[in-house]
Amino acid sequence: MLLSAVVFGAIAVAVRSGDDEGGEAISGPAAQLPAVVAAAQELIGTVPPAAAMAGELGRVSGEVTVGFAELAESGDDLAFAGQFERLPDAEARLLGRSLAEIQAQLSPTAVDGSRGSDDRAGDVVFALELSRAVIQTIDPEGTPREQALAMMPFVVQDLTGFDQIAVTFATGDLTQLAATIDEALSDAGAAELISSVAFAVGERLPTVDDVDYPTLFNEGFAAGGT
């Protein structure tokens, strides 16, 4: 319940921020947003080409999530730090903050966020690319339906023909998929999809040796959403 409140509460924070507080609108491709570039620099250690950005960010976010599962089995903080160049508490906070900052910058101007309506379609494709890379890294053996159920907001899961949506999400044209699901999404658009990514990742983080990594992830997410 705590994670759900933090994640979905952050959508409201994101969509209210920006123009109503005097901030400048942020336009242009999602892959070039300041929060996306910063997340790549911190999580990946480099900035991929724009066409690969969403997939690489998703892949690394998934690898970090898998790393936490391995940490739960080994209890070896130093092995985790050797792989990800941070101790797990810092990595949990960073992952949460990065996803929240991306979500906040993908919020639409129509509800006083930082994006314009011209960016919406591309933003949704970007979020779908990131989502697909996350779940296919976390659960590569999952069926298309299992992967889509893990990543898609409930409003998308309720759409007629969800099984075909799941197949397209797993293997198909994400531009086509974005057009199919967009009407079901709220005004938050791509930010709603990133919220589902954050929820799915946070759910999978363990508590190890009394260190509550979901709570640390939530703390990072709350800090990034303000």
The pair of three-digit structure tokens given for residue 219, joined into one six-digit string: 């703390």
Q: What is the pTM of this model?
A: 0.89
Q: pLDDT per position in the chain (226 positions), as tens?
A: 344 444 444 454 434 344 344 456 677 899 999 999 999 999 999 999 999 999 999 999 999 999 999 999 999 999 999 999 999 999 999 999 999 999 999 988 776 677 888 899 999 999 999 999 999 999 999 999 999 999 999 999 999 999 999 999 999 999 999 999 999 999 999 999 999 999 999 999 999 999 999 999 999 999 997 6
Report the C-alpha gap between 179 and 84 in whole angstroms.
36
Q: Letter for the amino acid at 116? A: G
Q: What is the pLDDT of residue 204?
A: 97
Q: What is the pLDDT of residue 2?
A: 45
Q: What is the pLDDT of residue 115?
A: 84
Report the C-alpha gap between 189 and 178 in whole angstroms.
10
Domain extents in the chain: 2-224
Q: Across-strand partners of 115? A: 108
CB 209 within 8 A of CB 216: no
* Burial track 47-62 (b if 16+ CB lie within 10 A, e otherwise): bbeeeebbbbbbbbbb
Report the C-alpha gap between 31 and 50 in whole angstroms.
5
CB 135 within 8 A of CB 150: yes
Q: What is the pLDDT of residue 112?
A: 66
Side-chain-side CA neighbours of residue 161 (13 Å):
8
**Residue 211, helix vs strand vs coil:** strand
The C-alpha angle 192, 31, 122, rounded to 5 degrees, equals 55
